Amino acid sequence: MKPLLDLRHLQLIQAIIQTGRITDAAKLLGVTPSALSHRLREAERRLDVPLFTRMHKKLRKTPAADYMAVVAERILTDLSRAEEDVRRMNAGVQHVVRLSVEAYSNYRWLPFFIKFLKSRITGIDIQIMAGARIDPVNSVMNRNIDIAVMSGNVAQVGLSTIKLFEDPLLYIMPPSHRLADRDYVEGTDIVGEHFITYTKVPEPDREFALLFRPTDSYPQWTATVELPEAIVELVASDLGTSVLSNWALQTALAEGRIVGAQVTEAGITVPWRAVLRAEDMEEDDPILQVAHLLAEWCSLPDGGFHIT
């Protein structure tokens, strides 16, 4: 069955939503207003529903246009990604492996790993998909990315994991904090402390279950901030404390903007893994090759994610 709309119609919907006017949308797309008006009428005729209503001198989107805009964003993004892949392939790249890191957007390690990768294998390029960090499991399952670097244990049908490294959690605070000289902190030490977290969902191997719950000692939750790098900046400005992975804190710690203490005397160490689809576990699959090389690089004395 032939689609009712083509890419021109999807671009039209996006442009009108962005600008609110036919003339401005036409300028954005490089066509005449009359041509764009004709294209809009054609789209509405094919769908048999109005996409926009006129209010004063602006066009207001209908629910139909709102829905089509979501679809258009996905389709046009996939098309742009495919075009980029083709250009890379013409430049001697046979495979593009898409990768994201759970929660964190610290990629200081990336240039070092790419150099290591290129020294070991040719024809494979890495593309970072930072937007997938919020829901990496579904991003792998939905084929939006190929490898997710994730912490903890991942048990999901259709996925496989490769161990990368172990990393301790650190309780971070500004240098002026009353606990700044401690080697480690217990739950009782931080009762009532202003605490910033990127998730309030308790996890069995993290601070909630291993630091707070055993002594029934809890901080004062001040804010939920989904970007750990933003949490670091808030902590450095003395707006709270937090618990984050050691590897992602190296730059801020080296600069002295924050200090870190081990979480509990025994410490809480979290495994980090490369998560990929089980169907990509064939020996010669470029996705598996990248995952294995990432694990090998993490095992080197001068490799891994702990780079300032």
Q: Which domain holds residue 101?
A: 93-165+271-298
Task: Give pLDDT, residue 208.
Answer: 79
Compute the average pLDDT of residues 220-245: 92
On whether both 188 and 199 belong to a single domain, the answer is yes
Encode pLDDT of 171-205 as tens digits: 999 999 999 999 999 999 999 999 998 876 667 65
For 156-173, give the secondary structure using H, E and C: CCCEEEEEEEEEEEEEEE
What the block records as the tokens of 296 is: 């090998």
Encode pLDDT of 260-275 as tens digits: 999 999 999 999 999 9
On whether both 129 and 275 belong to a single domain, the answer is yes
Instruction: Indicate the burial class of 235 (C-beta count within 10 angstroms; 0-12, 13-18, 19 or more).
Output: buried
pLDDT at 1 over 80: no
- Who wins on pLDDT, 249 or 134? 249
pLDDT at 4 over 60: yes
Query: Dihedral of CA 30/34/36/39: which sign?
Result: negative
Judge contact between 22 and 37, C-beta under 8 A. Answer: yes
On whether both 193 and 213 belong to a single domain, the answer is yes
Task: Give pLDDT, residue 218.
Answer: 86
Length of the chain, please? Answer: 308
On whether both 104 and 194 belong to a single domain, the answer is no
Task: Give pLDDT, residue 80.
Answer: 79
In a domain, 304, yes or no: no
Judge contact between 263 and 185, C-beta under 8 A. Answer: yes
Structural domain total, the chain? 3
In a domain, 194, yes or no: yes
On whether both 149 and 290 belong to a single domain, the answer is yes
* CATH code at position 109: 3.40.190.10
Within 10 angstroms of residue 90's Cβ, the number of other Cβ atoms is 8
